[in-house]
Amino acid sequence: MVQPGERIPEVVVQQITPKGIEKTDTLSLFGTGRTVLFAVPGAFTPTCSERHLPGFVEHFDEFRRRGYDVACMAVNDPFVMQAWMTSSGVPDGMRMVADGNAELTRALGLDLDASAYGMGIRSKRFAMLIEDGVVSQLFVEAPGEFRVSTAEHMLQAVGG
């Protein structure tokens, strides 16, 4: 599992933008500046849709005021991520990242085998702070938990 002080692995992912779906790499997404990256096991799943993403949508402007970009990642195809973005009222500027083949998730060591639930390989629920391509803080949820990766917890982590 990636640790604070380590660089984000270089992987190609797909970012959903107002222009559509664009292939990009993690260096372009996270190589400069400060970003809160949070990951969910799946778009449109209960906790992810009812609590996790909405918290970051609600507090998006506060993260921006504190100098942080916000990115949401899931092991879903980009079309699902695009539909989730639209139906969830994601604000302009919040990055939606589709890691469809779990390449970034696996490279981070944060993959979860959800095959028993018919979901295949997914991402663990986590949030991290990335500064100029380096993980500065990492918060991984225990199975079934939703505490340390919330928007409110991450606002505390970034400080004022």
Sequence-separated (6 or more) residues with CB below 8 Å from residue 103 = 11, 12, 13
Q: Is 48 a catalytic residue?
A: yes
| Phi, psi angle pair for 84, to nearest 5° | -65, -40
State the catalytic residue, choosing from 48, 71, 112, 127: 48
Residue positions annotated with a catalytic role: 48
